[in-house]
Structure 1
Amino acid sequence: MIASIPVRTLCFVVYPGFELLDLTGPYAVLSSAARLAPQLGWSLCIAAPEAGLVTSGHGVAVLAEHALQELEATPLHSLICVGGDREPVETVLSDQDFLDRLRRTGEAAERCISICSGAYLLAEAGLARHHRLTTHWRAVRHLSERYPDIKVEPDAIYIQDGAIWSSAGVTAGMDLALALVEQEAGRALALKIAQNLLVQRLRSGGQSQYSPDLAAQARPESRLARLCDAVRREPSADWSIEALCDRFHLSRRTLSRLTRTELNQSPAQLVEQLRVEAARALLVETDHAISVIADMCGFGGLQRLDRAFQRQLGVAPRDFRARFRTPFPQETAS
């Protein structure tokens, strides 16, 4: 332990090839909290296997003020492990000295946090054993198979399981950081930071990290893209399986295979998720009555809308609106 490290320090751990956004997104949130709420006593730092400049996977270098060994047994507020692509992550996981230091540092910290594939660092160091973790959706199966003593949650944006926090890919790290700010300093500060950083709204950890719109945008000429776009434009239309097959000239079998292969969903589940996403936007961005939104989005009534929200988000539409609808401050006329 070194005397120059404040007790309320939140330390990011990086390594050559790390994902830059895993660092800069959460860092922006937490440093804003430290500046706007000095009573928190927060101080941020960056550590690496060796102190000095560390180059990210995007070629941008950051300064690690400390070698990880300097922080062993330091009672950090948070130890935050960022992710990276497979090769740099596997390289750092093969460094047993680094893992031993990470374990000792994590054991002395109040909480351990992983961003995206940083979950591998917590898992390999033994810091997340018998805990729940999430990570980028592409790594869920591999993480689960590699570490059977960890419960991997496949679809959460972020998770808090006791002193272990984890987030899904890249920008979900900002959602986790905002949740930490809300827990420690209150919702008002978290909302202020979200607005300053142009984060649209605070997302609960239970919201899905994987949107069918993203899958469609990744293959803009695919039949799935056209299907998602059509439902998104007219969520109130008839999107029964028969209507989908007729509209896109697909057999029931082909349609089911397409949505299962691309999204691991049935056609009906896909339509429901797209309609819920449309309803979420209207709940937050308009003053429409919830019953009107239910009709606009093709649910045909409040009960069906409520059941869909409970399945997709674990919350009622009314509660979702109350929690997430926080308008940006409007300018006053001079």
Structure 2
Amino acid sequence: MPNMSMIEAIRDALDVAMGADERVVVFGEDVGYFGGVFRVTAGLQRKYGKTRCFDAPINESGIVGAGIGMAVYGLRPVVEIQFADYVYPGYDQIVSEAARIRYRTAGEFTCPMVIRMPSGGGIFGGQTHSQSPEALFTHVTGLKTVVPSNPYDAKGLLLAAIADPDPVIFFEPKRLYNGPFDGHHDRPVASWKGHDLAEVPEGAYQVPLGRAVIRRFGKAATVLTYGTMVHVALAAAEESGIDAEVIDLRSLMPLDLETITASVKKTGRCLVLHEATLTSGFGAELAAQVQAECFFQLEAPVRRVAGWDTPYPHVHEWSYFPGPARVAEALRELVEEV
């Protein structure tokens, strides 16, 4: 199997989907001729033409609205929001239209579209290029929300999202585009080449939505996380010396509650980790679900480690991110707590 970066894996997924189904169209700001600001869609317009991969005006509401119309009338659009921070002008279209079409038409129409967006920090983009707004979408019934942590999953999850009959929000952690990240550096510690999860099969395959995976087995505590923070959690488990089990959620909605609860019932302790702001972040929902399902097995309260409750800091970006040291400290405190 070829080794791929996450950028290459996502591009390959789009190429496979477009080659197999002429209903799949890709569009957004600068995704056509230029190939996207991160070069994810490079070469797709040249291969499939300007009617299958094309540029859109700087109008997120229009991009999402056009995608909804295409989806309802039989196409399978994959639209790109250039940065997750830019999605807010299109949020009403997503929440009021895309998410509700199946219900409001009693199943007569569905909205098979994917909304891709680079998320999270790591490029010193400040407040308008670095947000992690996943909780705004997991709250909305009718949407599915996906966050891959590696090239293999990125391709398989995207192909599953494109095949899904309902709208899928697909977050792409920018810090993982070119290589895995351990939280200590301002860029990936290495390329994905040689990394086992960089081995990406050629052709079509799917990673099912709603199914988590255990990245590290352990007995002392469970860490629930996704995206970039999967790699930080793995580094923190080694640094702390704690026998922690690390679960990569992959899909936030639908959520693999079965894998989560089985792990927490085994370990008796749970730490929730994400890059987004702490208050009302998706970690709060995870903590509530764990408390409800595993109350009698918990040996300590569920802990959360996350970003600050502040506007996104530019200069202090690397203090804002939960890094291995902060997570390791929380793990030690969690295991010692009675």
Q: TM-score, normalised by structure 2?
A: 0.34
Structure number having the greater strand percentage: 2
Q: TM-score, normalised by structure 1?
A: 0.35
Tell me: higher relative CO, structure 1 or 2? Use CA pairs within 8 A at least 6 residues apart. 2
Structure number having the greater helix percentage: 1
